[in-house]
Structure 1
Amino acid sequence: MSDAPSGREASFQVLTTGYTGSTGPGVAATVSCVADGDLRIVFDPGMVDDPKSITGPLAELGLTPEDITDVVLSHHHPDNTLNAALFTRARIHDHKAVYTGHTWTTRDAEGYEFTPSIRLLFTPGHSHEDLTMLVGTPDGVVALAGDLWWRADGPADDPVSPDRDQLRASRERVLAVADLVVPGHGAPFIPDDQTPR
């Protein structure tokens, strides 16, 4: 059975393209927005040069932070999570729970479906808590992969990975279904034979 979402109704937009020290002046997360029906989901609202790097592109989509229904955190490193508090009305999702206000509901990220077009996979490797959000769009499956890849070229050997074999297995799992990958700190890329495994 494929991990790909069964639906192809969602849309996605990169709000800001991230970078790492080797490609920019510091570190910034790639922040994305996904929409399907009434859901407006921000993925990895982490470190950016200014919160307006997130709220400005949202405004261009006709959205305010209060319009965001959900925030998904690929993992708990600050460079991927730092601006989650911008979205005061949103449910926050991580690898093990959904957090709302001062309560949470424990649930496994693996296979969690927001809609038939949006689902989560548990994809550890960069950390023990990584998840990937798969988005079925009319143009194919987009994998918002957090730091499984920092950018299109990897790094091939992630220097912070606690388990290289687990990282490889998660990358292969995502590549089996993704037409487009959105990495944690770079521009979206179409995977090919040169994509680090």
Structure 2
Amino acid sequence: MSDALQKFTDPAFDLTILVQGFPGRSLCHGGLGWSTIALLRMGDRIAVIDTGAFSARKSIYAGLARAGLAPADVTDVLLTHAHYDHSINWVLFPKARIHIGKVEMDWALPLWGDPVLPELYVQALADSPRLALIADGDTVLPGIQAVRAPGHTPGCLVFRLDGEHRRVLFSGDAAKNRAELVSRAADMTMDEAASQSSIEMIWRMWRERPDTLLIPGHDLPMLLEDGVPTYVGERRAGVTAWFGDDLDTTTLFDFSRAPHL
């Protein structure tokens, strides 16, 4: 499987997918949590959109290094919501302003023992002078607007980036994957009706500009072709396991292609 990173350009920005999200769940080992992490360069601003779980740290460091960057070069971190697989690595960026929805923090901060909220990291973020609370409709960075999209969590945000030749929608877990977008139904939602309304809103923004690239929380980027969500790029995902009698013998499980059913 290739380690090449997906890149998208516009006169207003350069976008790189540091970690590619995956539309799957673990059967018996808790949450899989393979979420999308994006790197955005706009003039003197260097932003990371969502930060992944602990397992993403090596990939984050490697992706930044390939881009000629260090974590301290990142000026802004934009979090779609507070779940561990999207938020926990905000601590890796020592000089960045950390942007997250106020509604999300008001909901997440009192919760302790929730299966997918990293409570100590949420508390540390609430106490951090680098925290920037944002609301629906706020301009987070030049050309980037926060749009509240509740359902998965009460304060989920979609980030809409409007460039000169391309719009990008970072839908986070308001629309995690292609299946949710096509079916208009959401898995792991706190409010099914709110999720359906948020998905319809995402569709409206997606249709407004034919050049719009949608980057979901747990899937490949997509474009609309004749109204149909179509993947951009090739999936990269897999696991190697030691099922033999020595460390040189491994079994590869390639998740990059769906099986023929």
* TM, length-normalised to structure 2: 0.63
Alpha-carbon distance in structure 2 between the residues aligned to 1:123 and 1:48:
25
> What's the offset of the Cα at 1:138?
3.6
> What's the offset of the Cα at 1:171?
1.8
**What is the percent sequence identity of the aligned residues?**
28
Alpha-carbon distance in structure 1 between the residues aligned to 2:63 and 2:131:
31
Alpha-carbon distance in structure 2 between the residues aligned to 1:171 and 1:194:
15
Match status 1:55 vs 2:88? no
Alpha-carbon distance in structure 1 between the residues aligned to 2:43 and 2:176:
30
Equivalent residue for 1:160?
A: 188
Equivalent residue for 1:113?
A: 139
Equivalent residue for 1:85?
A: 91
> What's the offset of the Cα at 1:173?
1.9
Quick check: 2:134–2:140 contact (8 Å CA) kept in 1? Answer: no
Equivalent residue for 1:176?
A: 204
| Secondary structure in structure 1 of the residue aligned to 2:77 | strand
| Secondary structure in structure 1 of the residue aligned to 2:155 | coil
Alpha-carbon distance in structure 2 between the residues aligned to 1:104 and 1:132:
21
> What's the offset of the Cα at 1:194?
5.1
Larger Rg: 2
Match status 1:12 vs 2:6? no
Quick check: 1:152–1:188 contact (8 Å CA) kept in 2? Answer: no
Equivalent residue for 1:136?
A: 162
> What's the offset of the Cα at 1:68?
0.5
Equivalent residue for 1:124?
A: 150
* TM, length-normalised to structure 1: 0.82
**Correspondent of 1:74 among 80, 85, 98:** 80
Alpha-carbon distance in structure 2 between the residues aligned to 1:8 and 1:173:
27
> What's the offset of the Cα at 1:187?
0.9
Q: Where does structure 1 lack aligned partners over 5 or more consecutive residues? A: 1-6
Deviates more, 1:95-104 or 1:129-138: 95-104
Relative CO higher for 1 or 2, CA cutoff 8 Å, sep ≥ 6? 1
Q: Where does structure 2 lack aligned partners over 5 or more consecutive residues? A: 1-9, 106-124, 207-211, 230-261
One-letter amino acid of the counterpart of residue 123, structure 1: A
Deviates more, 1:129-138 or 1:66-75: 129-138
Give per-residue Cα distances to partners, 1:112-170, cap 9 Å, x unaligned: 21344111111112110100111123432100110122222227432321222211222
Alpha-carbon distance in structure 2 between the residues aligned to 1:44 and 1:125:
18
Aligned residues: 189
| Secondary structure in structure 2 of the residue aligned to 1:55 | helix
Give per-residue Cα distances to partners, 1:50-93, cap 9 Å, x unaligned: 41211211122221110111111111111111211111111111
Alpha-carbon distance in structure 1 between the residues aligned to 2:34 and 2:130:
28
Alpha-carbon distance in structure 1 between the residues aligned to 2:126 and 2:75:
11
Match status 1:38 vs 2:44? yes
Alpha-carbon distance in structure 2 between the residues aligned to 1:65 and 1:10:
19
Equivalent residue for 1:4?
A: none
